[in-house]
Amino acid sequence: MQNEKLRNVAIIAHVDHGKTTLVDQMLKQGGVYRENQETVERVMDSNDLERERGITILAKNTAIQYGDTKINIVDTPGHADFGGEVERILKMVNGVILLVDAAEGPMPQTRFVLSRALELGHRVIVVVNKIDRPDQRIHEVIDEVLELLLDLDATPEQLDSPMLFCSARQGVASYSPDVPGTDLKPLFDTILSYIPAPEADLDQPFQMLVSAIDYNEFVGRIAIGRVERGVLKQNQEIAVCNYHDPDAPAKKAKAVSMYEFQGLGKQPITEATAGNIIAMSGIGDITIGDTICAPECVEPLPFVKISAPTMEMTFSVNDSPYAGREGKFVTSRQLRDRLFRETLKDVSLRVTEIDGATDAFNVAGRGEMSLSILIETMRREGYEFQVSPPRVLYRTIDGKKCEPIERLVADVPSESVGAVIEKLGSRKGDLIEMTPVGSRMKLEFLIPARGLFGYRNEFLTDTRGEGIMASVFDSYAPYKGDLNRRSTGSLVSFETGESVSYGLFNAQERGALFIGPGVKVYEGMIVGVSPKQEDITVNVCKKKQMTNMRAAGSDEALRLVPPRKLSLEQCLEFLADDELLEVTPESLRMRKTILNHEKRTAFNINAYTDASVYTTLVHGKVQFSSSSIGTIILSPGEQAVVSANGSEKRMVDLDEYVGWVDGRYVFNNRPLGEIMQTFERWYDIQVYYETPHLRDITYSGSLKRYGTINSFLDALELTGDLTYKISGRNILIYDKVEELE
């Protein structure tokens, strides 16, 4: 049985293809507004950040009445980083409206959201939007959409999807690109005729899957979802269960308040029937993926599998010299509670506590945009904290280290094609398609996610601000090798104080500054960018010394270059591996992880004439190169081994190689021959072995660096396997068992 009076539909598209604008016009022509009512553009983007950035972040529900039929509409985000929102929302609807820009055509996110809709078996109405653009290419876009459907293995029915031609801004749609439309009636009629009505089995026990969570200060969490079957009345007893936690007992609750969506608001209802999308309050700890059902028939519904995060950042308590001055919430407990609260409504976010650290948390998400939105939201709420540079999440597949690969589409002017291909090629990007679009070129790449870090600003420079770039996660592929994340260094403040014009004037000769005069700075804070790869320490607090002697022209006004003000996203893109971003409600300060200049870079080199050269990085960053081995870039905890046969890079236990600084010799699972070789150099002795196999026995432990050789030999004897004899500067090691025999 179907409820013919209902239709549930989601609007999906790439970012900025006109979803929210189309919903605006559907609301106007659906009779939601009074004739003289004042309206605003993008009314569904109610969040301040959404309106500022011009993007949809959270999915929104609305509904219109068209004739005798109620159409529930869900406006979804278009940015790839909020794909988790789209994936779960698709479970609530029976069909989708796919918007495609008449000039840009299908973009990466178009492919992603369409593939998810096809997997669920949804019917698709294709709407070619912005047909009034002067650079529209409607017929080419139609072919591209059909190719995309074929590429995604659409069924014959899905390939035969109806196609409409629309201008969301003007509020018109038509069945043909050559016939101008007058209103959105063709779209409404197509929804009614093509999108199936929801199943409405009223005789079965009540069941509803929670697909979204809203929050209200007065009533707490509000569960949103589609009623799968049955009828629910107000104040009726209900049970809450979860498909992925079958052993947990069902929680008892009561349907205190229920609402259905009508226009821009929610209307209280006393009865909810199968097929309708409703909101429900009164359940304290409800979360996305839970199933609400009748107590006599507890049957949890499986929740849609959300794609795993591909990127991670570390959020930690602010420990800069200016910590606690500007924020309202600064403690680790407050930071922890806020991050875990975010996971309740954002299913694509993952927060984990770091072993051994009480003031830092790893936060994984879909991309830089989703994490930067979280940072900005927390900042506006009064939180103060610091974040690490973003890093990709690797996987081991079939014994190989694999990394996330992004499908990148770049629409660039013809004269910029060479520069873009060269830059992305150096970042391990593979060009897979190149399509001319009028005087421009559409480039498609498969590139490691880490290759896009810090590239957006370069892209805008290379294309003179005319390029359009978008990417979406494609797959995991074998690790493509090291790449240099940033070709520039940082200008780092030498001391704590307040920046002055004289110090800034001298510093600007070294690079471009991020700050002007009168800004409070501290030692280790980043105040600009250097054109060279290495960091440069500058004193922006340096004042002019006052004397009674003046040279001609010395008192002329200092001309300062206006500083570059970086946004939050630009700061995150700029950060190197050994840098952090301090976030407060009032300021964004980039800094070095280690503030003290003398302690910032430390590495250990072991080099002997008879062995390989071992270079171990403790903290900071080191890069070295030669004609024989090429370029090697080390991160903290990595070691480069260079020998006559070549070079290799590996992760090591730092204690083994830098323990000598603290007067210790540390060895973990090392062969005896290697340990004694170190002692031979230290004590000018010669070690002999009764049989060669004794060299290969492995030991772990630590010794005081400057103790006598006897302390190690005595410890060796205590193991019960070996013993020794000393003759002058010669030592013989032999098997104790054989001696007893």
Give the alpha-carbon dihedral of 545, 547, 553, 557, to 10 degrees: 40
Residues 33-51 have a mean pLDDT of 44
Nearest Cα to 110, choosing from 141, 80, 147? 80
User: What's the whole-number mean pLDDT along residues 68-89?
Assistant: 67
Q: Could you please report the per-residue DSSP string of 292-307?
A: EE-TTS--PPPPPPPP
- Over the stretch 707-739, which tens digit does the pLDDT of each residue have? 667 777 777 777 767 888 888 888 888 887 655
Q: Does the pLDDT of residue 45 top 80, yes or no?
A: no
Helix orientation angle between 672-683 and 709-718, rounded to the nearest 10 degrees: 160
State the DSSP H helix or E strand holding residue 588, giving kind and residue range, or none if neither.
Answer: strand 588-592
- CA 278 to CA 276: how far, in whole Å? 6
The span from the CA of 362 to the CA of 453, in Å, is 18
Which amino acid is present at 16?
A: D
Look up residue 74 and give its two tokens. Answer: 């869900």
Kindly state the percentage of the chain with pLDDT values over 90: 8
Shortest CA distance to 501 belongs to which of 448, 555, 548, 460? Answer: 555
**What is the enclosing helix (H) or strand (E) of 663?**
none
**Token pair in block for residue 455:** 């590239």
pLDDT at 305 over 70: no
pLDDT in tens, 637-657: 777 877 767 777 777 776 676
To 10 degrees, what angle do helices 185-194 and 19-29 make?
A: 100
3-state secondary structure of 280: strand
CA 741 to CA 732: how far, in whole Å? 18
Indicate the DSSP class of residue 99: E
In 49-204, the DSSP E strands lie at: 60-66, 69-75, 95-101, 123-129, 163-167, 172-174
Pairing state between β 646-651 and 638-643: antiparallel
The residue-averaged pLDDT of 53-64 equals: 59
pLDDT at 700: 80
CB 406 within 8 A of CB 473: yes
What residues contact 547, with CB distance under 8 A and at least 6 apart? none
Q: What is the rounded radius of gyration, in angstroms, for the C-alpha atoms of the chain?
A: 32
Q: Give the tens place of pLDDT for each residue, 442-468.
A: 888 999 988 888 787 778 788 887 787
pLDDT digits (tens, 9 = 90+) for 462-479: 888 778 777 777 888 998
The amino acid occupying position 236 is Q
Specify the pLDDT at position 451: 85
Whether the per-residue pLDDT at 315 is higher than 90: the answer is: yes
pLDDT interval class at 333 (50, 70, 90): very high
Partners of 95 in beta bridges: 9, 123
- Count CB-CB contacts under 10 A for residue 652: 16
* 108-119 and 138-151 helices, crossing angle to 10°: 50
User: CA separation (Å) from 97 to 21, 81, 90?
Assistant: 14, 20, 11
| Beta carbons of 638 and 650 less than 8 angstroms apart | yes
Q: How far apart are CA 262 and CA 32, in angstroms?
A: 8
Q: Is the pLDDT of residue 344 over 60?
A: yes
Question: Could you tell me what percent of the chain has a pLDDT over 70?
Answer: 83
User: The tokens of 613 are what?
Assistant: 């050269």
pLDDT grade for 50, boundaries at 50, 70 and 90: very low
For 18-34, what is the mean pLDDT?
A: 73
The pLDDT mean for the chain works out to: 80
Q: Nearest-5° angle of CA 187, CA 188, CA 192?
A: 115
Mean pLDDT of the 86-112 span: 81
Q: What is the pLDDT of residues 158-186, one digit of tens each?
A: 888 899 999 888 888 888 888 888 888 88
Taking the C-alpha atoms of residue 431 and residue 443, their distance in angstroms, rounded to an integer, is: 7
The whole-number pLDDT of residue 575 equals 87
For 667-693, the DSSP string reads EEEEEHHHHHHHHHHHHT-EEEESSGG
Task: Specify the higher pLDDT residue, 147 or 620.
Answer: 147
528 confidence band (pLDDT: 50, 70, 90): very high
Q: Which of 730, 722, 681, 683 is nearest to 699 (CA)?
A: 722
pLDDT one-digit tens code per residue, 277-287: 888 887 877 77
Give this prediction's pTM: 0.65
Name the residue with tokens 């054109």. 531
Residue 404 main-chain phi, psi, to 5 deg: -70, 135
CA distance 732 to 547: 74
What span, in angstroms and rounded, lies between the C-alpha atoms of 738 and 741? 5
Query: Would you state the pLDDT for residue 691?
Result: 85
At 42 the pLDDT is: 40
Residue with tokens 């600009």: 528
- Per DSSP, the three-state class of 140 is helix
- Among the ranges given (30-44, 568-582, 633-647), the one the predictor scored with the smallest mean pLDDT: 30-44
Which pLDDT band, with edges at 50, 70 and 90, does 384 fall under?
very high
717's CB contacts (< 8 A; 6+ apart) are 723, 724, 736
Confidence of residue 590 (pLDDT cuts 50, 70, 90): very high
192 φ/ψ angles, rounded to the nearest 5 degrees: -65, -40
Q: What's the CA dihedral at 503, 508, 510, 514 to 10 degrees? A: 100
CA–CA dist 184, 186 (Å, integer): 6
Which 3-state string (H, E, C) describes 318-365?
CCCCCCCCCCCECCHHHHHHHHHHHHCCCCCCEEEECCCCCCEEEEEE
Q: Within 13 Å, how many C-alpha atoms sit on residue 67's CB side?
A: 10
Terminal Cα-to-Cα distance of the chain (whole angstroms) = 90
Mean pLDDT of 512-519: 91
